[in-house]
Structure 1
Amino acid sequence: MPPRWPRQPDRKDPAYRRLDDRMNFAVHVALFAVTNSGLWFFQLLNHAGNTAAIWPITPWITGGWLFILFLHAVYIFKVADYSYAAVEMGAPPDSPPTRGKSIND
């Protein structure tokens, strides 16, 4: 069942940004799993009985992508600031937009 959001989605809402970032990370993990399982499947299928690997770059692709995935996880779970203070002007998403003083005021 897909997640439901109780109010209008707004990227300035910290709770929405946190959920959105975690869903993007889940998509990143899924793409990693699907792509690398396919790469390794064909690597092992073609490698059966042969001593030479058909795609010698496969471990580098997996390792590099895994490192990028690890950096993505560190950012999402440790570095990202999902507080209202990190949002533009510090206003909560349900409050009306604030306006600066005009020249005529």
Structure 2
Amino acid sequence: MPPRWPRKPDRNDPEFRKLDDRMNFAIHVAIFAASNSILWFFRNLTVANWPWTIWVTGGWVSLLLIHGVYIFVLADYVAISKDSISDN
């Protein structure tokens, strides 16, 4: 059974934003895992000499690490008041 959100989803709600960002990160990790495993599977299957696969994997892992550090360490999930949005 999928989890249920107890109130109306709103990006201004810090708890919802935190959950949404973490689910987004999980989707990015899943896409990386699937794509990267397919890439390396075909590299090994065809015994190909593809030096770019190392660079693709390394670059993608680096982006995932940066994304993860932002989500889990740097992101500040403070309530955004509607008054501060309308002042701009």
TM score, norm. by length of structure 2: 0.88
Residue 11 of structure 1 corresponds to 11
Partner letter of residue 43 of structure 1? R
Residue 25 of structure 1 corresponds to 25
Q: Is 1:83 the equivalent of 2:67?
A: no
Partner letter of residue 45 of structure 1? L
- Please provide the CA RMSD for this pair: 2.0
Runs ≥4 residues deviating over 6 A = none
The gaps in structure 1 that reach 5 residues or longer are 92-98, 101-105
Alignment map for 1:64-83 (pairs within 5 Å)? 64-83=59-78
Partner letter of residue 82 of structure 1? Y
Deviation at 1:89, TM superposition (A): 4.9
Distance 1:29 1:36, change over 3 A: same
For 2:36 and 2:83, the matched residues in 1 are separated by 41
Residue 44 of structure 1 corresponds to 44
- Max Rg structure: 1
Distance 1:12 1:29, change over 3 A: same
For 2:83 and 2:19, the matched residues in 1 are separated by 19
Q: Secondary structure of the equivalent of 2:46?
A: helix
Identity of aligned residues (%): 59
Instruction: Give the length in aligned residue pairs.
Output: 86
Distance 1:89 1:13, change over 3 A: same
